[in-house]
């Protein structure tokens, strides 16, 4: 690998290959990174601010399982950490300190990138600020399939409002710098007018990076292809039968399918008599329970699984006979422990072509390794509400794993008009004169998984989104009612 030792003055940057110094042209540190990629097209390039022992580089190389990955370790970039939370509503911000976490936030202390990625990039222009360039690059290209992971610490040094406003202007729509200004005025009593004014002259960068050839150049590796399927179901016998028939046609068949059938009527009996009338090519474990709720059902089903891989499925989808084969091919290419497939309704088209880090998790269209399931479960506090699947995704990230989206693997979601978990559930807050906003489950999920400033940013967004929903458009009256609804949501979230 090549090591680029950065200096506060890029004229003093040094590069080494096998302890031999390489000549660098005049330019910024990011320019030097691209220059090395041109000269050495099949090399990992490491950056560092100080001399490092070989063991530090070996740690990074062991983590680098695919070439379309960027890694870093060290202190998080301060210019972002102070305010980016207000405008970034994704799970990639609230990293766990000193453990690997999927985030585009990069440290300039030590890191690693493959030259093939930099070779595909033709539009990015360096600003001359190395830490700014590095984070701008990963922020722009993460959504296009660049896998970004860091092991960061929150060491506070210098804060620059000017940089964070410019960064947001270059990575989001212009309206977000107005939003950030409003948040800083309202929540921090700051008035960074100069930084805001400078950002007005920045434009959003819509660069593209061709990562598809790199992703599909990764050789497939041998892997265990045994899997179980879990399916919670309620009132959808005919739809469930079609799902089982599709599984029965797979080129790689499941070891067992665990079906948790629910009916809240304690005098009811199972609707799934057909399970015993067919000759299935896999074992079926059928549990009929009277406690409704997807979280409980999935947790029960997971407890019955035994295979290395577990497919989380719904009872109203359809798919072709090569679905599982394509899933394992993608797992082999991405080296991930969690893969989320595209879950499309009839007529929907997925334009994304590359694998990418996914901020969500589909509990009806994902495959998860057993190692992950031993550390995560569906939070019963979110039963009958919303957010249990995205919360499960956050548990996965906090356990040191990632959720990868495979848009090429598509499952048809029928959205069955009968059965399922749509029956309204009566919550204690339903009798309140003012209904909590957002729902207490969403408040619970956000308080559990997001930073305080992310929650404040969300609160500001919802203030505008709900404008007029409380029967008034008079600003101070809307604010009073919104504050009451927000406080009620916080109150009930504590009791979940």
Tens-digit pLDDT profile for residues 358-389: 999 999 999 999 999 999 999 999 999 889 99
Q: Region 181-196: what's the mean pLDDT?
A: 96
CA distances from 76 to 10, 55, 92, 136, 358 (A): 21, 22, 13, 14, 21
pLDDT tier for residue 422 given thresholds of 50, 70 and 90: low
Query: In angstroms, what CA-CA distances link 118 with 124, 388, 450, 482?
Result: 10, 38, 32, 48
pLDDT band at residue 227 under the 50/70/90 scheme:
very high
Checking DSSP bridges between strand 356-357 and strand 404-413, what pairing results, if any? antiparallel
For residue 416, what pLDDT band results from cuts at 50, 70 and 90? confident
**What pLDDT does residue 50 have?**
94
Mean of pLDDT values over 254-273: 96
For residue 260, list its beta bridge partners. 232, 287
Q: Which domains, and CATH codes, for the chain?
A: 2-158 (3.90.550), 227-413 (3.90.550.10), 428-494 (no CATH)
So what's the pLDDT on residue 238?
96
**CA separation, residue 209 to residues 142, 286, 291, 352 (Å):** 10, 47, 49, 13
Collapsed DSSP state (helix, strand, coil) of residue 181 = helix
Burial of 309 (0-12, 13-18, 19+ CB in 10 A): buried
| pLDDT over threshold 80, residue 55 | yes
Sorted by sequence, the CB contacts under 8 Å of residue 440 that are 6+ apart come out as 385, 427, 429, 489, 492, 493, 495, 496
| Residues linked to residue 311 through DSSP beta bridges, in sequence order | 229, 367
β-bridge pairing 404-413 and 338-344: parallel
Predicted confidence (pLDDT) at residue 423 exceeds the cutoff of 90? no
Place of tokens 């100080």: 50
Give the pTM.
0.96
Q: b vs e for 14-34, b when ≥16 Cβ sit within 10 Å of the residue's Cβ?
A: ebeeeeeebebeebbbbbbbb
């Amino acid at each position: 690998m090549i090591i680029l030792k950065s200096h506060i003055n890029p004229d003093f940057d040094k590069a080494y290959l096998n302890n031999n110094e390489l000549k660098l042209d005049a330019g910024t540190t990011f320019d030097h990174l691209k220059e090395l990629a041109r000269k050495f097209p099949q090399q990992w390039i490491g950056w560092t601010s100080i001399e490092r022992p070989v063991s530090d580089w070996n740690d990074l190389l062991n983590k680098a399982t695919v070439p379309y990955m960027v890694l870093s370790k060290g202190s998080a970039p301060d210019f972002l950490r102070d305010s980016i939370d207000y405008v970034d509503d994704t799970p990639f911000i609230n990293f766990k300190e000193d453990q690997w976490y999927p985030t585009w936030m990069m440290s300039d202390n030590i890191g690693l990138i493959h030259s093939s990625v930099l070779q595909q990039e033709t539009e990015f222009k360096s600003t001359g600020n190395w830490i700014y360039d590095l984070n701008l690059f990963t922020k722009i290209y993460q959504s296009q399939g660049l896998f970004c992971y860091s092991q960061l610490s929150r060491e506070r040094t210098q804060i620059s409002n000017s940089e964070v406003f410019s960064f947001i202007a270059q990575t989001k729509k212009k309206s977000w710098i107005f939003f950030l200004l409003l948040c800083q005025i309202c929540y921090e009593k700051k008035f960074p007018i100069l930084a805001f004014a400078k950002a007005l002259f920045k434009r959003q960068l819509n660069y593209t990076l061709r990562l598809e050839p790199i992703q599909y150049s990764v050789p497939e590796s041998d892997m265990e292809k045994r899997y179980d399927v879990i399916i919670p179901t309620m009132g959808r016998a005919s739809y469930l039968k079609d799902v089982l028939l599709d599984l029965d046609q797979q080129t790689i068949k499941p070891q067992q399918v665990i079906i948790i059938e629910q009916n809240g009527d304690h005098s009811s009996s199972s609707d799934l008599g057909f399970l015993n009338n067919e000759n299935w090519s896999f074992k079926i474990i059928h549990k009929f329970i009277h406690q409704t709720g997807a979280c409980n059902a999935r947790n029960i089903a997971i407890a019955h699984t035994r295979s290395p891989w577990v497919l989380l499925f719904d009872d109203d989808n359809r798919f072709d006979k090569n679905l599982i084969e394509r899933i394992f091919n993608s797992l082999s290419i991405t080296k991930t422990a969690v893969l989320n497939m595209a879950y499309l309704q009839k007529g929907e088209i997925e334009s994304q072509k590359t694998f990418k880090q996914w901020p969500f998790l589909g509990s009806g269209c994902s495959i998860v390794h057993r190692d992950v399931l031993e550390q995560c479960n569906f939070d019963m506090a979110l039963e009958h509400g919303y957010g249990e699947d995205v919360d499960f995704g956050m548990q996965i990230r906090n356990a040191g794993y990632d959720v990868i989206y495979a848009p090429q693997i598509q499952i048809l979601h029928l959205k069955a008009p009968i059965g399922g978990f749509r029956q309204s559930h009566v919550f204690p807050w339903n009798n309140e004169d003012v209904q909590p906003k957002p729902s207490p489950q969403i408040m619970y999920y956000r308080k559990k998984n997001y930073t305080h400033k992310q929650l404040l940013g969300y609160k500001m967004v919802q203030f505008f989104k709900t404008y007029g929903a409380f029967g008034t458009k008079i600003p101070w009256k809307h604010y009073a009612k919104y504050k009451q609804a927000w406080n009620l949501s916080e109150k009930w979230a504590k009791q979940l």
